[in-house]
Protein backbone atom coordinates (compact mmCIF):
# COMPACT_ATOMS: atom_id res chain seq x y z
CA UNK A 1 0.00 0.00 0.00
CA UNK A 2 1.37 3.40 -1.00
CA UNK A 3 1.00 6.66 0.89
CA UNK A 4 -1.43 9.01 -0.88
CA UNK A 5 -3.44 12.17 -0.22
CA UNK A 6 -5.83 10.36 2.16
CA UNK A 7 -2.94 9.91 4.63
CA UNK A 8 -2.01 13.61 4.82
CA UNK A 9 -1.75 14.32 8.57
CA UNK A 10 -2.84 17.93 8.04
CA UNK A 11 -6.29 16.94 6.77
CA UNK A 12 -9.24 17.93 8.94
CA UNK A 13 -12.96 17.29 8.63
CA UNK A 14 -16.16 19.31 8.80
CA UNK A 15 -17.19 16.68 11.38
CA UNK A 16 -15.62 18.47 14.35
CA UNK A 17 -15.17 15.42 16.60
CA UNK A 18 -12.96 13.79 13.95
CA UNK A 19 -10.37 16.52 14.60
CA UNK A 20 -9.97 15.59 18.27
CA UNK A 21 -6.50 13.98 18.72
CA UNK A 22 -8.10 11.50 21.13
CA UNK A 23 -10.58 10.25 18.54
CA UNK A 24 -10.16 6.76 17.12
CA UNK A 25 -11.72 7.91 13.87
CA UNK A 26 -10.02 10.89 12.22
CA UNK A 27 -10.48 11.53 8.53
CA UNK A 28 -7.29 9.54 7.84
CA UNK A 29 -8.95 6.35 9.16
CA UNK A 30 -12.45 5.86 7.62
CA UNK A 31 -13.10 2.25 8.70
CA UNK A 32 -16.16 0.35 7.44
CA UNK A 33 -18.99 -1.30 9.38
CA UNK A 34 -22.60 -2.40 8.93
CA UNK A 35 -25.17 -0.60 11.09
CA UNK A 36 -28.68 0.77 11.60
CA UNK A 37 -30.28 3.11 14.14
CA UNK A 38 -30.53 1.35 17.50
CA UNK A 39 -33.93 -0.12 18.27
CA UNK A 40 -35.21 0.43 14.75
CA UNK A 41 -36.40 -2.00 12.11
CA UNK A 42 -34.29 -0.28 9.46
CA UNK A 43 -32.26 -2.36 7.05
CA UNK A 44 -28.64 -2.79 8.04
CA UNK A 45 -26.32 -0.96 5.63
CA UNK A 46 -22.74 0.07 5.22
CA UNK A 47 -21.30 2.93 7.23
CA UNK A 48 -17.97 4.65 7.77
CA UNK A 49 -16.73 6.03 11.09
CA UNK A 50 -15.84 9.72 11.24
CA UNK A 51 -15.31 11.16 14.72
CA UNK A 52 -18.23 10.13 16.92
CA UNK A 53 -20.53 9.77 13.90
CA UNK A 54 -21.35 7.11 11.32
CA UNK A 55 -21.47 8.28 7.72
CA UNK A 56 -24.52 6.46 6.38
CA UNK A 57 -23.39 5.27 2.96
CA UNK A 58 -26.95 4.46 1.91
CA UNK A 59 -27.87 8.13 2.42
CA UNK A 60 -25.30 9.30 -0.13
CA UNK A 61 -26.20 10.06 -3.71
CA UNK A 62 -23.71 8.32 -6.05
CA UNK A 63 -23.23 11.67 -7.77
CA UNK A 64 -21.60 13.03 -4.60
CA UNK A 65 -18.70 10.58 -4.91
CA UNK A 66 -18.46 10.52 -8.69
CA UNK A 67 -16.65 8.00 -10.83
CA UNK A 68 -14.99 5.57 -10.36
CA UNK A 69 -16.21 5.42 -6.75
CA UNK A 70 -19.97 5.31 -7.40
CA UNK A 71 -19.98 1.59 -8.29
CA UNK A 72 -18.02 0.80 -5.12
CA UNK A 73 -20.43 2.94 -3.07
CA UNK A 74 -23.39 0.93 -4.37
CA UNK A 75 -21.73 -2.26 -3.14
CA UNK A 76 -20.83 -0.77 0.26
CA UNK A 77 -24.43 0.38 0.83
CA UNK A 78 -25.66 -3.22 1.13
CA UNK A 79 -26.51 -5.11 4.31
CA UNK A 80 -23.18 -6.92 4.28
CA UNK A 81 -19.82 -5.83 2.90
CA UNK A 82 -19.08 -9.07 1.03
CA UNK A 83 -19.69 -7.71 -2.45
CA UNK A 84 -17.67 -4.59 -1.69
CA UNK A 85 -14.86 -6.78 -0.34
CA UNK A 86 -14.96 -8.88 -3.51
CA UNK A 87 -14.56 -5.77 -5.69
CA UNK A 88 -10.86 -5.55 -4.86
CA UNK A 89 -8.25 -2.98 -3.86
CA UNK A 90 -8.91 -0.52 -6.70
CA UNK A 91 -12.58 -0.20 -5.69
CA UNK A 92 -11.75 0.04 -1.98
CA UNK A 93 -9.19 2.75 -2.63
CA UNK A 94 -11.43 4.71 -4.98
CA UNK A 95 -14.25 4.88 -2.44
CA UNK A 96 -11.87 5.74 0.38
CA UNK A 97 -10.48 8.66 -1.65
CA UNK A 98 -13.95 9.92 -2.58
CA UNK A 99 -15.16 9.76 1.02
CA UNK A 100 -12.02 11.49 2.25
CA UNK A 101 -12.66 14.38 -0.14
CA UNK A 102 -16.35 14.45 0.79
CA UNK A 103 -15.58 14.69 4.52
CA UNK A 104 -12.74 17.21 4.41
CA UNK A 105 -13.03 20.67 5.91
CA UNK A 106 -14.28 22.99 3.20
CA UNK A 107 -16.40 20.37 1.44
CA UNK A 108 -20.17 20.71 1.48
CA UNK A 109 -21.37 19.20 4.77
CA UNK A 110 -23.51 16.08 4.36
CA UNK A 111 -25.25 16.39 7.74
CA UNK A 112 -28.24 14.37 6.52
CA UNK A 113 -25.96 11.33 6.14
CA UNK A 114 -24.63 11.34 9.72
CA UNK A 115 -25.88 9.09 12.52
CA UNK A 116 -24.32 9.38 16.00
CA UNK A 117 -22.42 6.22 16.86
CA UNK A 118 -24.12 6.30 20.27
CA UNK A 119 -27.48 5.99 18.47
CA UNK A 120 -26.40 3.10 16.22
CA UNK A 121 -26.35 -0.66 16.54
CA UNK A 122 -23.98 -2.83 14.57
CA UNK A 123 -24.08 -6.19 12.85
CA UNK A 124 -21.37 -8.58 11.77
CA UNK A 125 -19.89 -6.63 8.84
CA UNK A 126 -19.81 -9.58 6.45
CA UNK A 127 -21.26 -13.04 5.99
CA UNK A 128 -18.38 -15.06 7.39
CA UNK A 129 -18.32 -18.31 5.48
CA UNK A 130 -15.24 -19.67 7.22
CA UNK A 131 -13.15 -18.71 10.22
CA UNK A 132 -9.56 -19.83 10.82
CA UNK A 133 -7.64 -19.07 14.00
CA UNK A 134 -3.84 -18.91 13.91
CA UNK A 135 -1.23 -19.04 16.67
CA UNK A 136 1.22 -16.37 15.54
CA UNK A 137 2.63 -14.95 18.78
CA UNK A 138 5.78 -16.82 19.78
CA UNK A 139 5.61 -15.15 23.19
CA UNK A 140 2.13 -16.57 23.81
CA UNK A 141 3.04 -19.99 22.40
CA UNK A 142 6.15 -20.21 24.57
CA UNK A 143 4.44 -18.98 27.73
CA UNK A 144 1.50 -21.37 27.39
CA UNK A 145 3.78 -24.21 26.32
CA UNK A 146 5.92 -23.70 29.40
CA UNK A 147 2.84 -24.21 31.61
CA UNK A 148 2.01 -27.57 30.03
CA UNK A 149 5.33 -28.80 28.62
CA UNK A 150 8.15 -27.36 30.76
CA UNK A 151 10.76 -29.49 29.00
CA UNK A 152 9.61 -28.52 25.47
CA UNK A 153 7.49 -25.36 25.62
CA UNK A 154 7.71 -24.67 21.89
CA UNK A 155 7.04 -27.59 19.58
CA UNK A 156 9.56 -28.06 16.74
CA UNK A 157 7.15 -27.11 13.93
CA UNK A 158 6.29 -23.69 15.36
CA UNK A 159 9.17 -21.75 13.79
CA UNK A 160 8.58 -23.32 10.39
CA UNK A 161 4.83 -23.19 9.84
CA UNK A 162 2.02 -20.74 10.77
CA UNK A 163 -0.05 -23.00 13.03
CA UNK A 164 -3.83 -22.70 12.76
CA UNK A 165 -7.14 -24.50 13.15
CA UNK A 166 -10.60 -24.02 11.66
CA UNK A 167 -13.04 -22.38 14.05
CA UNK A 168 -16.79 -21.94 14.19
CA UNK A 169 -18.18 -19.00 12.17
CA UNK A 170 -21.75 -19.32 13.46
CA UNK A 171 -20.88 -18.18 17.01
CA UNK A 172 -19.01 -15.01 15.99
CA UNK A 173 -20.73 -11.91 17.38
CA UNK A 174 -20.11 -8.19 17.19
CA UNK A 175 -19.02 -6.01 20.13
CA UNK A 176 -21.65 -6.13 22.86
CA UNK A 177 -21.97 -9.91 22.56
CA UNK A 178 -23.30 -11.63 25.69
CA UNK A 179 -23.06 -15.38 26.04
CA UNK A 180 -23.62 -18.02 28.73
CA UNK A 181 -20.66 -19.70 30.37
CA UNK A 182 -19.90 -22.82 28.32
CA UNK A 183 -20.33 -26.35 29.67
CA UNK A 184 -18.46 -29.50 28.80
CA UNK A 185 -16.19 -32.27 30.03
CA UNK A 186 -13.10 -31.62 32.08
CA UNK A 187 -10.21 -33.79 33.20
CA UNK A 188 -11.12 -36.61 35.61
CA UNK A 189 -10.32 -36.15 39.27
CA UNK A 190 -7.25 -37.94 40.53
CA UNK A 191 -7.90 -41.66 40.95
CA UNK A 192 -11.02 -41.75 38.79
CA UNK A 193 -11.64 -42.69 35.17
CA UNK A 194 -14.75 -40.62 34.42
CA UNK A 195 -14.40 -36.95 33.49
CA UNK A 196 -16.41 -34.24 35.19
CA UNK A 197 -19.20 -32.41 33.36
CA UNK A 198 -20.45 -28.91 34.02
CA UNK A 199 -19.75 -25.21 33.50
CA UNK A 200 -16.19 -24.19 32.74
CA UNK A 201 -14.29 -22.92 35.77
CA UNK A 202 -11.32 -21.59 33.82
CA UNK A 203 -12.91 -19.26 31.30
CA UNK A 204 -10.47 -16.93 29.58
CA UNK A 205 -10.19 -14.27 26.90
CA UNK A 206 -7.65 -14.07 24.08
CA UNK A 207 -6.51 -10.73 22.64
CA UNK A 208 -6.32 -11.14 18.87
CA UNK A 209 -6.40 -9.25 15.59
CA UNK A 210 -8.99 -10.32 13.02
CA UNK A 211 -8.14 -10.30 9.31
CA UNK A 212 -11.02 -10.00 6.83
CA UNK A 213 -10.43 -11.52 3.41
CA UNK A 214 -11.37 -9.29 0.49
CA UNK A 215 -10.86 -10.89 -2.90
CA UNK A 216 -10.58 -14.66 -2.68
CA UNK A 217 -8.81 -17.26 -4.81
CA UNK A 218 -10.05 -20.10 -6.96
CA UNK A 219 -9.99 -23.56 -5.42
CA UNK A 220 -6.68 -25.18 -6.27
CA UNK A 221 -4.85 -21.88 -6.70
CA UNK A 222 -2.40 -20.56 -4.12
CA UNK A 223 -2.08 -16.87 -3.28
CA UNK A 224 1.61 -15.86 -3.57
CA UNK A 225 2.92 -14.29 -0.38
CA UNK A 226 4.03 -11.12 -2.16
CA UNK A 227 0.48 -10.62 -3.46
CA UNK A 228 -1.33 -11.75 -0.30
CA UNK A 229 -2.11 -8.33 1.13
CA UNK A 230 -4.05 -7.40 -2.02
CA UNK A 231 -6.49 -10.11 -0.89
CA UNK A 232 -6.95 -8.59 2.59
CA UNK A 233 -9.72 -6.02 3.06
CA UNK A 234 -8.76 -4.96 6.56
CA UNK A 235 -8.23 -5.68 10.24
CA UNK A 236 -10.45 -5.69 13.32
CA UNK A 237 -10.16 -6.67 16.98
CA UNK A 238 -11.04 -10.25 17.95
CA UNK A 239 -11.59 -11.97 21.29
CA UNK A 240 -11.25 -15.75 20.99
CA UNK A 241 -12.92 -16.72 24.28
CA UNK A 242 -11.46 -19.96 25.62
CA UNK A 243 -12.57 -22.51 28.22
CA UNK A 244 -9.14 -23.64 29.39
CA UNK A 245 -10.33 -26.62 31.45
CA UNK A 246 -12.41 -28.00 28.59
CA UNK A 247 -9.48 -27.42 26.24
CA UNK A 248 -7.00 -29.29 28.43
CA UNK A 249 -9.17 -32.42 28.32
CA UNK A 250 -10.26 -32.40 24.66
CA UNK A 251 -7.46 -30.88 22.60
CA UNK A 252 -5.48 -34.08 21.94
CA UNK A 253 -5.26 -35.38 19.28
CA UNK A 254 -7.30 -33.03 17.04
CA UNK A 255 -7.09 -29.65 18.76
CA UNK A 256 -9.68 -27.21 20.18
CA UNK A 257 -13.38 -27.98 19.91
CA UNK A 258 -15.99 -27.06 22.56
CA UNK A 259 -13.38 -24.96 24.36
CA UNK A 260 -13.47 -22.44 21.51
CA UNK A 261 -16.69 -22.72 19.50
CA UNK A 262 -19.16 -21.12 21.93
CA UNK A 263 -18.33 -17.44 21.27
CA UNK A 264 -15.95 -15.14 19.42
CA UNK A 265 -16.34 -11.36 19.65
CA UNK A 266 -15.13 -8.90 17.01
CA UNK A 267 -15.15 -5.11 16.81
CA UNK A 268 -17.71 -3.67 14.37
CA UNK A 269 -15.17 -1.52 12.51
CA UNK A 270 -12.82 -2.88 9.86
CA UNK A 271 -9.72 -0.71 9.44
CA UNK A 272 -8.46 -1.03 5.88
CA UNK A 273 -4.85 -1.92 5.15
CA UNK A 274 -4.66 1.31 3.17
CA UNK A 275 -5.45 3.34 6.31
CA UNK A 276 -2.62 1.50 8.09
CA UNK A 277 -0.01 2.14 5.37
CA UNK A 278 1.85 4.83 7.40
CA UNK A 279 2.01 2.49 10.40
CA UNK A 280 3.91 -0.38 8.79
CA UNK A 281 6.77 -1.85 10.80
CA UNK A 282 9.72 -4.12 10.07
CA UNK A 283 8.98 -7.83 10.39
CA UNK A 284 11.72 -9.30 12.55
CA UNK A 285 13.04 -12.82 12.91
CA UNK A 286 16.01 -13.73 15.09
CA UNK A 287 18.96 -14.66 12.89
CA UNK A 288 19.40 -17.84 14.94
CA UNK A 289 15.84 -18.97 14.11
CA UNK A 290 14.90 -20.79 10.91
CA UNK A 291 14.13 -18.29 8.17
CA UNK A 292 10.84 -18.62 6.26
CA UNK A 293 10.60 -21.14 3.46
CA UNK A 294 10.51 -19.47 0.01
CA UNK A 295 6.70 -19.55 -0.28
CA UNK A 296 6.51 -17.51 2.97
CA UNK A 297 9.22 -14.99 2.08
CA UNK A 298 9.24 -11.90 -0.11
CA UNK A 299 11.48 -8.83 -0.54
CA UNK A 300 9.38 -6.29 1.37
CA UNK A 301 8.70 -8.59 4.35
CA UNK A 302 11.55 -7.54 6.63
CA UNK A 303 11.28 -3.87 5.77
CA UNK A 304 7.54 -3.40 6.27
CA UNK A 305 5.75 -6.73 6.71
CA UNK A 306 4.32 -5.99 10.16
CA UNK A 307 1.76 -3.50 11.52
CA UNK A 308 2.51 -1.25 14.48
CA UNK A 309 -0.84 -1.54 16.29
CA UNK A 310 -0.99 -1.12 20.06
CA UNK A 311 -3.40 -3.56 21.70
CA UNK A 312 -5.03 -3.39 25.12
CA UNK A 313 -7.27 -5.56 27.31
CA UNK A 314 -9.58 -4.04 29.91
CA UNK A 315 -11.75 -5.85 32.44
CA UNK A 316 -14.91 -4.63 34.19
CA UNK A 317 -16.46 -6.86 36.82
CA UNK A 318 -20.16 -6.85 37.72
CA UNK A 319 -19.27 -5.05 40.95
CA UNK A 320 -17.32 -2.37 39.08
CA UNK A 321 -20.23 -1.86 36.72
CA UNK A 322 -22.73 -1.64 39.57
CA UNK A 323 -20.58 0.96 41.35
CA UNK A 324 -20.04 3.02 38.20
CA UNK A 325 -16.34 2.17 37.84
CA UNK A 326 -14.80 2.05 34.39
CA UNK A 327 -13.10 -1.05 32.99
CA UNK A 328 -9.51 -1.39 34.20
CA UNK A 329 -6.56 -2.05 31.91
CA UNK A 330 -4.94 -5.42 32.61
CA UNK A 331 -2.44 -5.78 29.75
CA UNK A 332 -0.97 -4.13 26.65
CA UNK A 333 0.88 -5.62 23.68
CA UNK A 334 1.60 -4.79 20.03
CA UNK A 335 0.72 -6.60 16.79
CA UNK A 336 4.18 -5.83 15.38
CA UNK A 337 5.61 -8.54 17.69
CA UNK A 338 3.74 -11.29 15.84
CA UNK A 339 6.06 -14.11 14.71
CA UNK A 340 4.11 -14.59 11.48
CA UNK A 341 2.75 -11.75 9.33
CA UNK A 342 -0.66 -11.15 7.77
CA UNK A 343 0.71 -11.97 4.31
CA UNK A 344 2.27 -15.21 5.56
CA UNK A 345 -0.99 -16.34 7.13
CA UNK A 346 -2.89 -15.82 3.87
CA UNK A 347 -0.19 -17.46 1.74
CA UNK A 348 0.11 -20.49 4.01
CA UNK A 349 -3.67 -20.91 4.23
CA UNK A 350 -3.91 -21.22 0.44
CA UNK A 351 -0.64 -22.96 -0.49
CA UNK A 352 -2.41 -26.32 -0.59
CA UNK A 353 -5.13 -24.99 -2.90
CA UNK A 354 -7.61 -23.97 -0.19
CA UNK A 355 -10.00 -21.36 -1.55
CA UNK A 356 -10.69 -18.24 0.49
CA UNK A 357 -13.88 -16.24 -0.07
CA UNK A 358 -14.75 -12.56 0.44
CA UNK A 359 -15.73 -12.10 4.08
CA UNK A 360 -13.78 -15.07 5.42
CA UNK A 361 -12.14 -14.25 8.75
CA UNK A 362 -8.69 -15.16 10.05
CA UNK A 363 -7.69 -14.73 13.69
CA UNK A 364 -4.08 -13.89 14.48
CA UNK A 365 -3.92 -15.96 17.63
CA UNK A 366 -3.33 -14.41 21.05
CA UNK A 367 -1.06 -11.40 20.77
CA UNK A 368 1.29 -11.44 23.76
CA UNK A 369 4.42 -9.33 24.01
CA UNK A 370 7.88 -10.25 25.26
CA UNK A 371 7.25 -8.91 28.79
CA UNK A 372 5.11 -10.90 31.27
CA UNK A 373 2.74 -7.95 31.74
CA UNK A 374 2.11 -7.91 27.97
CA UNK A 375 0.34 -11.29 28.06
CA UNK A 376 -2.82 -11.48 25.98
CA UNK A 377 -4.72 -13.92 28.22
CA UNK A 378 -5.46 -14.56 31.89
CA UNK A 379 -3.91 -18.00 31.53
CA UNK A 380 -0.54 -16.28 31.11
CA UNK A 381 -1.12 -13.36 33.49
CA UNK A 382 -2.11 -15.74 36.31
CA UNK A 383 0.56 -18.34 35.61
CA UNK A 384 -2.02 -20.98 34.82
CA UNK A 385 -4.32 -19.88 37.64
CA UNK A 386 -1.64 -19.90 40.35
CA UNK A 387 -1.32 -16.14 40.93
CA UNK A 388 -4.40 -13.91 40.79
CA UNK A 389 -4.26 -10.45 39.29
CA UNK A 390 -5.65 -7.65 41.46
CA UNK A 391 -7.97 -5.03 39.99
CA UNK A 392 -8.07 -1.40 41.18
CA UNK A 393 -11.11 -2.04 43.41
CA UNK A 394 -9.35 -4.92 45.16
CA UNK A 395 -11.15 -7.75 43.36
CA UNK A 396 -8.95 -10.55 42.09
CA UNK A 397 -9.11 -12.81 39.07
CA UNK A 398 -7.32 -15.91 37.90
CA UNK A 399 -10.02 -16.61 35.31
CA UNK A 400 -13.27 -14.88 34.36
CA UNK A 401 -16.33 -14.87 36.57
CA UNK A 402 -19.98 -14.46 35.63
CA UNK A 403 -20.81 -10.83 34.90
CA UNK A 404 -17.28 -9.93 33.79
CA UNK A 405 -17.01 -7.75 30.68
CA UNK A 406 -13.80 -7.87 28.67
CA UNK A 407 -13.02 -4.93 26.38
CA UNK A 408 -10.35 -5.03 23.65
CA UNK A 409 -8.96 -1.83 22.17
CA UNK A 410 -6.44 -1.14 19.44
CA UNK A 411 -4.75 1.90 17.96
CA UNK A 412 -1.95 2.74 15.57
CA UNK A 413 0.09 5.67 16.84
CA UNK A 414 3.12 7.41 15.35
CA UNK A 415 4.64 10.83 16.21
CA UNK A 416 3.29 13.49 13.87
CA UNK A 417 0.46 11.25 12.63
CA UNK A 418 -3.18 10.96 13.75
CA UNK A 419 -4.28 8.03 15.86
CA UNK A 420 -5.90 5.28 13.79
CA UNK A 421 -8.21 3.47 16.20
CA UNK A 422 -10.19 0.25 16.00
CA UNK A 423 -12.92 1.12 18.47
CA UNK A 424 -13.78 -1.66 20.90
CA UNK A 425 -14.64 -5.34 21.00
CA UNK A 426 -16.57 -5.88 24.23
CA UNK A 427 -18.18 -9.08 25.48
CA UNK A 428 -19.85 -10.17 28.72
CA UNK A 429 -19.96 -13.58 30.41
CA UNK A 430 -23.40 -14.67 31.61
CA UNK A 431 -24.11 -17.56 34.00
CA UNK A 432 -24.26 -21.02 32.49
CA UNK A 433 -27.69 -22.16 31.37
User: How do residues 364-385 score in pLDDT, each as one tens digit?
Assistant: 999 999 999 999 999 999 999 9
Q: Which one-letter DSSP state was computed for residue 13?
A: B
CB hemisphere CA count around 4 (13 angstroms): 14
Q: Is the pLDDT of residue 1 over 80?
A: no
Average pLDDT over residues 299-312: 97
Q: How far apart are CA 117 and CA 31, in angstroms?
A: 13
Q: Is the pLDDT of residue 180 over 80?
A: yes
User: What is the per-residue pLDDT for 189?
Assistant: 81
- In this prediction, what percent of the chain has a pLDDT beyond 70? 100
Q: How far apart are CA 183 and CA 243, in angstroms?
A: 9
User: How do residues 200-213 score in pLDDT, each as one tens digit?
Assistant: 999 999 999 999 99
Q: What is the dihedral of CA 104, 107, 113, 114, to 10 degrees?
A: 40
Instruction: Report residue 227's pLDDT band, with 50, 70 and 90 as the boundaries.
Output: very high
Q: What are phi and psi of 37, to 5 degrees?
A: -70, 135
Q: Which one-letter DSSP state was computed for residue 189?
A: P
Average pLDDT over residues 144-173: 94
User: What is the per-residue pLDDT for 2?
Assistant: 87
**Cα separations (Å) of 310 from 84, 232, 354, 370, 406?**
28, 20, 31, 14, 17
- In this prediction, what percent of the chain has a pLDDT beyond 90? 96
Told to judge if 349 belongs to the known catalytic residues of this protein, a careful annotator would answer no
Q: Give the residue from 71, 19, 27 showing the smallest Cα distance to 49.
A: 27
**Cα separations (Å) of 265 from 136, 203, 345?**
19, 14, 20
Q: Is the pLDDT of residue 16 over 70?
A: yes
Q: Is the pLDDT of residue 277 over 80?
A: yes
Instruction: Report residue 192's pLDDT band, with 50, 70 and 90 as the boundaries.
Output: confident
Q: Give the residue from 161, 42, 130, 46 showing the smallest Cα distance to 96.
A: 46
Sequence-distant (≥ 6) Cβ neighbours of residue 263 within 8 angstroms: 171, 173, 177, 179, 182, 241, 427
What residues form the annotated binding site?
133, 135, 149, 206, 208, 240, 247, 251, 260, 264, 366
Q: How far apart are CA 181 and CA 203, in angstroms?
A: 8
Average pLDDT over residues 204-223: 98
User: What is the per-residue pLDDT for 140?
Assistant: 97
Q: Among residues 140, 231, 348, 349, which one is catalytic?
A: 140
User: How do residues 34-77 score in pLDDT, each as one tens digit?
Assistant: 999 999 999 999 999 999 999 999 999 999 999 999 999 999 99
Which residues pair with residue 243 across a beta bridge?
203
Q: How far apart are CA 153 and CA 416, in angstroms?
A: 41
What spatial distance separates the first Cα and last Cα of the chain, rounded to whole Å?
47
- State the Cα angle at 49 between 45 and 52, rounded to 5°: 120
- Residue 253 preceded by cis peptide, ω within 30: yes
> Strands 361-363 and 131-134, how do they pair?
parallel
Mean pLDDT of the chain: 97
User: What is the per-residue pLDDT for 205?
Assistant: 98
What residues form the annotated binding site for Ca(2+)?
133, 206, 208, 240
3-state secondary structure of 303: helix
Q: Is the pLDDT of residue 363 over 70?
A: yes
What residues form the annotated binding site for Mg(2+)?
240, 260, 264
pTM assigned to the model: 0.97
User: What is the per-residue pLDDT for 330?
Assistant: 98
Q: Tell me the domains of the chain and their CATH numbers.
A: 5-122 (2.30.30.230), 131-430 (3.90.850.10)
**Cα separations (Å) of 333 from 23, 80, 369, 370?**
20, 31, 5, 9
Q: Is the pLDDT of residue 246 over 90?
A: yes
Amino acid sequence: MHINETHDPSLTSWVATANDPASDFPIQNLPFAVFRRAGSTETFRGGVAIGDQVLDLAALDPATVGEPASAALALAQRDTLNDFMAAGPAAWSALRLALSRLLRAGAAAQQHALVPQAAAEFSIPARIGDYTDFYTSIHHATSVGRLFRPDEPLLPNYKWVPIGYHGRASSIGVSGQRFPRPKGQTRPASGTDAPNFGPSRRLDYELEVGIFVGTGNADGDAIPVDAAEAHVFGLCLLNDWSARDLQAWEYQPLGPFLAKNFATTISPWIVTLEALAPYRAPWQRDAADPQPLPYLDYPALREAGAFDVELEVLLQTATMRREGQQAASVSRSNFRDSYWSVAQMVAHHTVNGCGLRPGDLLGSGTQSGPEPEAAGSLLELSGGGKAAITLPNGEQRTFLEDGDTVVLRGRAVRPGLPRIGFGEAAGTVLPAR
